[in-house]
């Protein structure tokens, strides 16, 4: 199974420069258990730079990894606001018996032929459903207590989460250029 890994520019994610062509990613939504994380970071939509369109996201991705198998987890590293850091700390130190996750993400890459950004790896319009990954008995969920210094304003903190698919077939979308697109399945439907 082919794995997928993107290293995203945090600096470009926060301070988008039209003449730079680095990979950028956003965590567009995140809900863990009953806790919905705030979409409180305003960033540029790379696919709408001519219109100067801004969007609100939960976090700016620094990296994303998927081994490519139906049952393999998706792992995210991203930078979140002070509010989302505080919510993450409370979540980690509470009884996290409900590990359900609903989330959305998008990674943008630059097409040098068409000279535009395109969606390279994303969930399209339907949020994905998963569970916080368990590794060695521990949940794969962590937040940095110290402020990240890669981008100092706005204050942001590193969040890590690994997410296993729920027992239903879902779709992950890929793009290899502005026009070249395909999908892969994530999760397996289990009959009740």
* pLDDT score for 94: 79
User: Residue 79 CB: number of other CB atoms within 10 A?
Assistant: 27
The predicted structure's pLDDT at residue 172: 97
Q: What is the pLDDT of residue 75?
A: 97
Task: Tell me which residue of 25, 18, 82 sits closest to 57, measured CA to CA.
Answer: 25
Residue indicated by tokens 């919905």: 36
CB-CB neighbours of 188 under 10 Å: 14
Rounded CA separation 23/115 (Å): 14
Q: What is the pLDDT of residues 24-77, one digit of tens each?
A: 999 999 999 989 999 999 999 999 988 889 999 999 999 999 999 999 999 999
Instruction: Give me the residues of the chain with pLDDT under 50, please.
Output: none
Q: Is the pTM of this model over 0.75?
A: yes
For 30, 116, 188, the CA distances from 77, given in Å and listed in that order, are 13, 25, 25
pLDDT at 49: 86
Whole-angstrom distance, CA of residue 151 vs CA of residue 8: 13
- Chain CA centroid to CA 103, Å: 8
Say how many residues make up the chain.
192
Average pLDDT of every residue of the chain: 94
- For residue 163, cis peptide bond before it (omega within 30 degrees of 0): no
Instruction: Give the integer Cα–Cα distance in Å for 186 and 192.
Output: 19
Residues forming a β-bridge with 131: 100, 164
What pLDDT does 30 receive? Answer: 98
Rounded Cα distance between 95 and 7, Å, is 32
């Amino acid at each position: 199974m082919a794995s997928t890994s993107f290293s995203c520019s945090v600096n470009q994610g926060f301070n988008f420069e039209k003449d730079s062509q680095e990979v950028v990613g956003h965590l567009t939504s995140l809900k863990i258990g009953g806790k919905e994380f705030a979409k409180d970071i305003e960033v540029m939509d790379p696919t709408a730079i001519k219109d100067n369109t801004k969007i609100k996201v939960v976090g700016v991705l620094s990296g994303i990894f998927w081994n490519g198998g139906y049952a393999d987890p998706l792992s995210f590293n991203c930078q979140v606001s002070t509010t989302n850091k505080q919510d993450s700390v409370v979540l980690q130190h509470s009884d996290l018996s409900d590990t359900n996750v609903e989330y959305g993400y998008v990674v943008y890459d630059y097409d040098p032929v068409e000279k535009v950004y395109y969606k390279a790896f994303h969930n399209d319009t339907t949020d994905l459903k998963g569970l916080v990954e368990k590794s060695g008995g521990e949940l794969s969920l962590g937040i940095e207590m110290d402020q990240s210094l890669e981008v100092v304003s706005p204050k942001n903190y590193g969040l890590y989460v690994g997410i296993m698919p729920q027992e239903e077939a879902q779709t992950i979308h890929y793009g290899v250029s502005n026009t070249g697109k395909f999908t892969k399945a994530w999760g397996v439907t289990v009959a009740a």
